[in-house]
Amino acid sequence: MNIRQTVQRTIAAGLLVTSMTGTALASDTKADFTIDVSLETGPNHIRNISVRKWADAVNTQSDGRLHIKVYEAASKFKGSAVPTALAQGTLDMGIPGTWHLTKFEPNYGVIFLPMFFGHDRHVSYKVMDGAIGKELSKRIEDKLNVKIIGRYIDIGGAITFMKADPITSPQDYSGKRIRIAGSAAHSRRYEALGANAVNVSWSDVPQALQTGMVDGVMTAFESVRSAALWDSGIKYAYVDQHAFHQYVPMINRDHWNSLPEDLQQLVIRTWDEAVDPQREFTATRDEEARAIAIEKGIKVTDASATDIATLREKLMLIQDDVIKELRIDPEFAVSVQVAIEQAQ
């Protein structure tokens, strides 16, 4: 084991111990108000690290009046179950992926339409931090009875990872079984490229790979690293920038209303202060995760600008049909297209 690997494992172990210790102490913590947060991902995932850091800031700055407790690795709910749990009031807070919200608010599907394919993350920021994102947030707040406490945080660009048969060009998707999550827009994109999309929860991905249920996975380098998917057979990566994934911070509305206004403002302020550092941290971690993946033997092929243009052109042919199928408001989709053009 080299020095870098030793340091990484030491850090990961420290984070896990900290998380477990924090959880143990939390049960003995007396606070006027509490917020339980459910995360599907494991302790060393970028979302977990970022959310724990934010929770620590809130817990400290509230002078013990508010305690946020983070439950990890789907110990409470799988990611797909979080929106329903929030709506039903069986969960205080979740930070689900945007893809998990499309079945409740179809217009969230615009994020995964071909118009976004291959674009830089800063294009997504300009669109989702602006009027488009605010409109989507308002709609999901009304439908799920939740409060969205601020801007979305990142998981990063979703690309295509394969086990045995690599994808290295726009023609190579044909016949591949690719794991997706959430939005049917992901299915339609892969199907338009000749692949078969299979919806699998993140916690079930290793088994799906090992049993041959899927040939590959659409996800981020960071997620491959956090789950050590090279141990489940992943050997190739095609950096095709299929989508840019983010997480939405939401609290059950009734629980939110039970908090005093000063604690509400503390939650909102600390979250906003955490977003920009989290986004940059995620970008850095993604680069590091890519390097680690290569060290683990994963061969990475970057789609060329020509490949991206070819793929987007092919995918744009199905966009109108996907908008109709996913029940996305056509006028809203046009406004998103305009926002993308202005953001470039």
Residue 343 is assigned to a structural domain of this protein: no
Residue 328 is assigned to a structural domain of this protein: yes
Place of tokens 């799906």: 208
In whole angstroms, give the CA distance from residue 340 to residue 344.
6
Label the pairing between strands 236-247 and 250-252.
unpaired
User: What CATH number does the domain containing 78 carry?
Assistant: 3.40.190.170
Label the pairing between strands 153-162 and 216-219.
antiparallel
In whole angstroms, give the CA distance from residue 1 to residue 13.
16
Number of folded domains in the chain?
Answer: 1
Classified as helix, coil or strand, 34 is: strand
CB 221 within 8 A of CB 286: yes
Please give the pLDDT value at position 295. Answer: 98
Please give the pLDDT value at position 344. Answer: 87
Sign of the C-alpha dihedral, residues 111, 114, 118, 123?
A: negative
Residue 344 is assigned to a structural domain of this protein: no
| Average pLDDT for runs of 10 along the chain of length 344 | 39 39 43 96 91 98 97 92 97 95 94 93 96 97 98 93 96 96 85 95 92 95 92 97 93 98 98 97 93 98 95 95 95 97 92
Residue 168 is assigned to a structural domain of this protein: yes
Residue 307 is assigned to a structural domain of this protein: yes
Its domain, for residue 65, covers: 3-338
Classified as helix, coil or strand, 262 is: helix
In whole angstroms, give the CA distance from residue 232 to residue 230.
5
Place of tokens 């724990």: 52
Residues 6+ positions from 65 with CB-CB distance below 8 Å: 31, 32, 33, 263
